Amino acid sequence: MGPSVSTHRARSAAAHTGSVVRAAAFWSAVGLPAPIIGLLAVGAPLPWVASLLLCNAAALVVGHDYRTCPNHEG
């Protein structure tokens, strides 16, 4: 007996959610260096800069496997 239609939909929804999260993390990792540099330029408190650096590192880890073209191998 194969998986039910609802099981298939749940897996599909989970896969789509995962790809959305990876995409958001990837693009956050791309964009976060700009405000980090800006905060450093204006002399913002170091904990602010450090927290953004940690967010950027987390975004890099989560978004590492993101592909803009899902059929692209490599």
Record the pTM.
0.70
Model pLDDT, residue 66 = 86
Model pLDDT, residue 18 = 78
Model pLDDT, residue 49 = 96
Contacts of residue 27, Cβ cutoff 8 Å, sequence gap at least 6: 63
Name the band, by pLDDT with cuts 50, 70 and 90, for residue 73. Answer: low
Model pLDDT, residue 46 = 96
Q: What is the pLDDT of residues 24-71, one digit of tens each?
A: 999 999 999 999 999 999 999 999 999 999 999 999 999 988 887 666
* CA neighbor of 38 nearest in space, from 48, 30, 25: 48
